[in-house]
A = this chain, B = another copy of it.
Amino acid sequence: MDAPKEYTHKYFLTAGECNAQQQMPITLIAQRVIEVATEHANILGVGYADLIKSNVGWVLSRLSIEMTRYPKMNEEYSLTTWIEGFNRLYSERNMEVQDGKGETIGYVRSIWVAIDMETRRPSDLTSISWLAETISDRPCPIAKQSRLMPVNAEEATLSAQHRFKVSDIDFNRHVNSVRYMDAFLNQWDLEHFDNNNIARFEIQYLRETYFGDKAHIITKCTENIAETEILVNETANCRAKIEFTSKN
């Protein structure tokens, strides 16, 4: 089979997609990452339709996005993806984000775990071990994701409650991966994002969250770093680490 090691999708940022800073929201970058990963997997013959025959599916486990600048309103941008690593349990997929002029403005690292679609437990990717042949040595010059540690509730500097609603639920009937990011970022006010850019956003999905789940979001800010987690019934379902840089 023809297995292109790299895949690129070009986009245009519409006004309606922009945030209050008239830039591409990092949540939309995450949405595009999931889209582009899905498209490349389909081309490689390891997409949803292929794996479901063995009752296996990909689940996004970790995502790290590092941006030097964000696409602006009415600007073109592109995502190029490739596989950096692959084993029996997961695949490491990277991406480069370019602006309309072809300048690199960010990189992405993601880890996709194979699960059994019925038991929702880790599955085995041995049957598609040939995928290792599509590994690319294209460099991804951002740090690998660290293991995110629990936030000590007593040290939390921000805290909020959120009940997940209809608009938060995806086609799998779980909370949409992107909505966790919204829940984290909604801890701050508009002014914070007027004055700070998100330089790096790391997120780790631990447990699935469902319609009606009541989340407790706690955040510990130390200088320009925020460590944050979403607890449901006092168990962490998702953790993130956000690094801000001042615009001034």
- Closest beta carbon of chain B to A209's beta carbon, Å: 13
**145-186 of chain A: CB within 8 A of chain B:** 165-167, 169-171, 173, 176, 178, 182, 185-186
Residues of A in contact with B, size category: 20 to 34
The answer to whether B166 and A190 have CB atoms under 8 Å apart is yes
What CA separation (Å) do A96 and B113 show in the bound complex?
A: 41
**CB < 8 Å neighbour of A18 from B38, B48, B171:** B171
**CB < 8 Å neighbour of A166 from B31, B34, B188:** B188
The answer to whether B212 and A27 have CB atoms under 8 Å apart is no
What CA separation (Å) do A166 and B165 show in the bound complex?
A: 17
A-B contact pairs, 25 of them (CB 8 A): A15-B38, A15-B48, A15-B171, A16-B31, A16-B34, A16-B35, A16-B170, A16-B176, A18-B170, A18-B171, A19-B166, A19-B169, A19-B171, A20-B169, A20-B171, A20-B173, A20-B211, A22-B171, A27-B167, A165-B182, A166-B188, A167-B185, A167-B186, A173-B190, A189-B212
Q: Interface of A with B (CB < 8 Å)?
A: 14-16, 18-20, 22, 25, 27, 31, 34-35, 38, 48, 73, 165-167, 169-171, 173, 176, 178, 182, 185-186, 188-190, 193, 211-212
